Amino acid sequence: MSTPAPTGRPDGSAPTMPAPSHSWTVKVREAAVEALPPEKLLPDGQPTYVASWIYLFGVASIASLIVTVVSGSILAVKGPNWWHQTGPGHFFNSIHLWSVELFFFVMVVHLWGKYWMAAWRGGRMRVWVTGAIVFLVAVPTAFTGYLSQQNFDSQWISTQSKDAINSTGLGSFFNVLNFGQMYGWHVLLLPVAVIILVAAHVLLVRNHGVVPPFELHERRELAGTGDGRAAPGPEAHS
C-alpha cells in the first residue's frame, strides 16, 4: 500500500509557489535592483575626493531642507495666530525663515560648484538637470511662503507682484492675493514637488556616483590654446 506524497512542509505550513516571471511585482523589484543595486544605494565608502569642501554643499542643502520641512510642518499645524503672537511661534517662524535662507545659499553654491566641475560628465546629465529643476521649483515655493506670512510684508509683496504675474497671463490661475490658494501651494503642492525631485536627484547620484574632479591632463587641456594642446610652460619662453 503506497503512502500519499506530502502536500505541505515539515512544520505543517502550506508550500508557497514561486512568483511567476510575468508578475508585475517581480518585474518592478528586478528593475529597481538592476537600476540601483544595494551596494550603490547604501555604499560602504566614498572616493577620497569627496572629502573636499565643495562636496559638502549638497549634504548641507539636504540638511537645511529637512529643518525647513519640519519647522514648516509645525507652523502649518499651529496657524498664523500662533506664529505671530506667541514666543514659541516666533521661534519656529525664525527657524523656518533662516533654514530657507541657508537652503538657498548652500544650494546656489552647490549648483555653481557643480557647474564649474561640469557635473554632467560621465552620463550624469539627468543628475544635473534634476538639481537645476529643484532650484527652479524652490523659487516659487519660497515666494508663496512670503505671501503666506499674514503680515504687512506679505501684503506688500502680493500687491507689488500681482501686476507682473497678471502681465504673463497666469493671474487667472495663480492669484497672489488669494491667501488660501497661496497657502495651499506653499504647504502642500510645491514642497511635495521639491521633496520628490530631491529624492530623485539623490538616487541618481547614488546610481551614477559622485562626479570626480578633472584629471590633471584635462585641466591642462582646458587651460591650453583652444586646439587641445597644453599651454606652453615657462621653459618654452627661455
Q: What is the pLDDT of residue 235?
A: 44
* Amino acid code (one letter) for 168: T
More confident residue, 41 or 20: 41
* Amino acid code (one letter) for 152: F
Q: What is the mean pLDDT of residues 69-91?
A: 95
For the CA atoms of 98, 104, 209, 118, what is the dihedral angle to 10 degrees? -150
Residue 80 CB partners (closer than 8 Å, separation 6+): 150
Q: What is the pLDDT of residue 66?
A: 97
Q: What is the mean pLDDT of residues 35-48?
A: 81
How does pLDDT run across 137-195, given as a tens digit for each residue?
Answer: 999 999 999 999 989 999 999 999 999 999 998 888 899 999 999 999 999 999 999 99
Q: Which of 207, 170, 159, 236 is nearest to 38 (CA)?
A: 207
More confident residue, 14 or 226: 14
Q: What is the pLDDT of residue 217?
A: 63
31/37 Cα distance (integer angstroms): 10
- CA 15 to chain CA mean position, Å: 44
